[in-house]
Structure 1
């Protein structure tokens, strides 16, 4: 089915707006990128409806949680009023780890299930793919010793991000998609089914 350049530009703008408005704390506009009834967000520290994600993100922002995003290359598969959009990204977070201020950077992709709702593209489900990460003290002279037992509880694609977030008090989900493996293959299959007309955008709400 032919895809218009306008659709592709609108989908890119949708993804850009998600990052800019979320990181800036522009919560009213951030809410507009999501499908109003079906929006679903999965992250290392949160899995649930978009409205709840907005609320907890706002609470964290207001108490100083420092999570930022940066975008890179972008690809969209569009079929009629549905799309699967992948965008290269980095997630960066700053927090204290055992009394040492540290930055973690995780590189991966946003994998978005989108649909056209009342004439506008909206995100139905966002599932990040976590490819690799690293953790560094903000002060290069600082010494940071990691608990290898805790670190190795998490997949290699986001184990340092998960480590920092666990130390900061978050409960981090294991088994999320990485560069390779069953989880990401299952996600790709869910994306293909979404484009083919499946009733839901994968197994949202199931753990």
Structure 2
């Protein structure tokens, strides 16, 4: 019989596997972290089923898109065969903006709705929480002037990430959860309902 401590350890390993396998391009193993029936991913540049996310991530990886993830502290609330895991993380993307190579580092949390499937924990829905970000020039001697109107389209938590990704040709979703505000509070409410037995993990759309 699994214990809460064992479940929390397994959930931490699940989140770590997501980051390692995704960033390494280990697509077969990356597919195993998702719930096979209901996996859903939300990101600034993608919202949809996990199977589609794997496909577009693989395409980007093969075409040289550089998006890396680094993990920090972790906690998980477990109720029976359901869990909500939160993990501190950074998203690091390198790309050219107007011909200048930059790094954008976005700090936040992965907020994961998880379920036990055939004895193993799987991610049903992943919703990042975007807390703050910054843009750095790879070459400190270079110069770059940002379009303030474009920058202002995005919430403060992923303002520079949204800017870079838009310049790179992605369609970036606005209104995603940040450190505070109604959107992240709604996410927390959805997490509580998931643990209480709701039929779906909130509304990822």
Describe how 1:149-168 pairs up with structure 2 within 5 A: 149-168=149-168
**In structure 1, what is the Cα distance between the partners aligned to 2:183 and 2:42?**
13
**In structure 2, what is the Cα distance between the partners aligned to 1:71 and 1:3?**
24
**In structure 2, what is the Cα distance between the partners aligned to 1:44 and 1:116?**
27
CA contact (8 A) 1:3 1:78 kept: no
1:79 aligns with 2:103: no
SS of structure 2 residue aligned to 1:158 = helix
Q: 1:61-99 CA distances to partner (integer Å, 9 max, x unpaired)?
A: 000000000000000000000000000000000000000
Structure 2 unaligned regions, length at least 5: none
Q: Which residue of 1 aligns with 2:26?
A: 26
**Please, what TM-score do these two structures have when normalized by structure 2?**
0.98
Superposed displacement of residue 169, structure 1: 0.3
SS of structure 2 residue aligned to 1:92 = strand
CA contact (8 A) 2:12 2:74 kept: yes
**In structure 2, what is the Cα distance between the partners aligned to 1:200 and 1:76?**
19
**In structure 1, what is the Cα distance between the partners aligned to 2:8 and 2:160?**
34
1:16 aligns with 2:16: yes
SS of structure 2 residue aligned to 1:165 = helix
Q: Which residue of 2 aligns with 1:116?
A: 116
Q: Give the CA RMSD over aligned residues.
A: 0.9
CA contact (8 A) 2:4 2:78 kept: no
Q: Which residue of 2 aligns with 1:172?
A: 172
**In structure 2, what is the Cα distance between the partners aligned to 1:138 and 1:7?**
41
Q: Which residue of 2 aligns with 1:51?
A: 51
Which aligned runs of 4 or more in structure 1 are off by greater than 3 angstroms?
none
SS of structure 2 residue aligned to 1:162 = helix
Superposed displacement of residue 4, structure 1: 2.3
Structure 1 unaligned regions, length at least 5: none
Q: Which residue of 1 aligns with 2:193?
A: 193
Q: 1:136-169 CA distances to partner (integer Å, 9 max, x unpaired)?
A: 1100011011000000000000000000000000
CA contact (8 A) 1:3 1:79 kept: no
